[in-house]
Amino acid sequence: MISSKLTLASVLAGALALSACTDPGRFGAQPGDPNQKTKNGALIGAGAGALLGALSKGDGNRGDGALKGALIGGALGAGVGYALDKQEAELRQQMGNDVVITNTGDRLIVTLPQDILFAVDSTAVQPGLLGDLRTLANSLQSYPNSTVQVIGHTDSDGDAAYNQQLSEGRAYAVANVLYGNGVPTGRVQAFGRGESQPIASNLTPAGKAQNRRVEIVILPNA
C-alpha cells in the first residue's frame, strides 16, 4: 500500500510541475495551437484540484480525493481556458492594431499605449480610442464571469508623485469609459502604478513609450 504521505507528496509535485509548465510543445500543446491555453488551463486545474482534493480527505481517502479533485479541477480549468481563448480571438479581430492582447492562460491583458490614449499630461481619453474601448466594453458584457483591473503606468520622466497621480487619473478615465458603455462598476477596479512597474528601459525613447501604458486585466472568476 502506498503511504498517504507519498500520495500527498506526489500530488504536490504534480501540481507544481503543471502550474510551472511554460513549454508549448509539451503535453500535446503544439506551437501555434489555438487550444493551447485551454489545454494548459485543464492541466493546471487538474493539478490544483488534485491537491485540494487530497488535502480535504483523511489519510485513508486521499487518493480518491486527489482523483476527484483532479477531474473537477481539470474540467473547470479547461472551461476557463476555452473562454479566454474565445474572447482573445474575438478581441484581436475587433480591436485596432495598436492594442496588444496577451493571454497568459489564466487572464487576458489588454495593453493600450498612453501616447495614443491621451495627450501629454492629460487624463482625457483621445476620441480615436473610444471605439476600441467600446468594443472592449461590449466584450466584457458578453463574457460577464470575470472581474477587471484597469492599471495606469508611466515612464520615469518627471516627479514620481506626479507620475503616480497621472497614472491613477488615466486609469480612472479608462474605467469611466467602460462604465459609460455598460460595464457594471462593481466589476472594475482602477488604480495607478506610476513609474514603479516598467516593462522596458527608461533610458531610451522607445523604452519610455512602452512604459507609458494602460493595462486592462481580465480575470475569470473562480
C-alpha cell at 50: 488534485
Query: What are the CB-based long-range contacts (under 8 Å, 24+) for 194-199?
Result: 194/153, 194/154, 194/160, 194/163, 194/164, 194/166, 194/167, 195/153, 195/154, 195/155, 195/156, 195/160, 195/163, 195/164, 197/153, 198/153, 198/155, 198/156
| pLDDT for 81 | 82
- The model's confidence at residue 53, banded by pLDDT at 50, 70 and 90, is low
| % of residues, the chain, pLDDT over 90 | 60
Distance, in Å, from the CA atom of 214 to the CA atom of 144, rounded to the nearest integer, reads: 21
| pLDDT for 97 | 87
More confident: 92 or 61: 92
CA atoms within 13 A on the CB side of 192: 23
| pLDDT for 80 | 74
| pLDDT for 96 | 87
- The model's confidence at residue 3, banded by pLDDT at 50, 70 and 90, is very low
Round the average pLDDT of the chain to a whole number and report it.
79
pLDDT at 171 over 80: yes
pLDDT at 1 over 60: no
Q: Over the stretch 12-46, which tens digit does the pLDDT of each residue have?
A: 445 445 444 444 333 333 334 545 555 555 555 54
pLDDT at 211 over 80: yes
| pLDDT for 21 | 47
What region, left, alpha or beta, does residue 215 occupy, with left being phi > 0 and alpha being psi -120 to 50 degrees?
beta
Cα→Cα distances 83→39, 86, 93, 123, 126, Å: 12, 5, 16, 32, 30
What kind of architecture, by CATH, is found in domain 97-220?
Answer: 2-Layer Sandwich (3.30)
**What would the mean pLDDT of 211-220 be, rounded to a whole number?**
97
What would you measure as the largest C-alpha separation in the chain, in angstroms?
Answer: 69
Residue that is written with C-alpha cell 496577451 in the block = 102
| % of residues, the chain, pLDDT over 70 | 64
Q: Over the stretch 145-158, which tens digit does the pLDDT of each residue have?
A: 999 999 999 999 99
Q: Over the stretch 75-101, which tens digit does the pLDDT of each residue have?
A: 444 567 898 999 999 999 999 888 999
Q: Over the stretch 102-145, which tens digit does the pLDDT of each residue have?
A: 999 999 999 999 989 999 899 999 999 999 999 999 999 999 99
Rg of the Cα trace of the chain?
21
| pLDDT for 30 | 37
Q: What angle do CA 108, 216, 196 make, to 5 degrees?
A: 110
